[in-house]
């Protein structure tokens, strides 16, 4: 396992157990991008990472991730994981793969892939509204505590439900989400 992948996993565990957003956000390069199947923060760096991870942690009552395999090649680490916990009182268990790209000892890109249908309905609460919003936009209420969904949407709209519905429609048409 690379030193950066190991440091990332430790920081994620601190985020999950202690809600420590600062430690994980500091791992990201100034122009780093962060994304999952529902949201993308392009070139937002540590501020976008702070927003992304704050929204991630605030979406769950409890969460704990276990890493099954970590593979590294040429500055890219692939992490296979499984996360379990509760969200809005419902238990969940879902897995996926994350890709960390490294540049100068920091994360230059973080992408994670999972089936959003495995996550129960996200509670609508705010995270730390700092940094860039989805696709580089700023949050509607900087410094405040806006309503968000798992994806960081500040409009109060439930992106998770919308994304799950769209994914189901796409699968019904023979596509893959």
Model confidence band, residue 169 (pLDDT cutoffs 50, 70, 90): low
- What's the whole-model pTM score? 0.69
CA angle 130, 131, 134 (to 5 degrees): 110
* Residue 63 to residue 150: CA distance in whole angstroms: 13
Cβ atoms of residues 159 and 38 within 8 Å? yes
Kindly list the structural domains of the chain, giving each domain's residue range(s) and its CATH number in brackets, ordered by start.
3-172 (3.10.450.50)
pLDDT above 60: residue 148: no
* Three-class DSSP category at 32: strand
Instruction: Report the range of poorest mean pLDDT among 18-27, 48-57, 80-89, 145-154.
Output: 145-154
Model confidence band, residue 61 (pLDDT cutoffs 50, 70, 90): very high
Cβ atoms of residues 146 and 140 within 8 Å? yes
pLDDT tens figures, 132-147: 334 333 333 333 333 3
Q: How many CB atoms lie within 10 A of CB 61?
A: 13
More confident residue, 160 or 85: 85
């Amino acid at each position: 396992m690379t030193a950066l992948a190991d440091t990332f996993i430790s920081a994620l565990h601190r985020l999950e157990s202690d809600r420590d957003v600062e430690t994980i956000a500091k791992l990201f390069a100034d122009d780093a991008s962060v994304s999952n199947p529902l949201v993308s923060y392009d070139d937002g760096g540590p501020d976008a990472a702070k927003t992304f991870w704050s929204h991630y942690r605030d979406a769950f009552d409890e969460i704990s991730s276990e890493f099954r395999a970590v593979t590294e090649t040429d500055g890219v680490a692939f992490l296979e994981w499984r996360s379990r916990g509760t969200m809005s009182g419902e238990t969940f268990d879902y897995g996926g793969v994350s890709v960390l790209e490294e540049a100068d000892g920091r994360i230059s890109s973080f992408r994670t892939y999972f089936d959003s249908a495995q996550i129960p309905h996200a509670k609508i609460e705010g995270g730390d509204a700092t940094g860039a919003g989805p696709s580089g936009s700023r949050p509607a209420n900087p410094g405040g505590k806006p309503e968000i969904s798992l994806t960081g949407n500040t409009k109060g709209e439930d992106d998770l439900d919308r994304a799950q519905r769209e994914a189901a429609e796409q699968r019904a048409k023979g596509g893959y989400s």
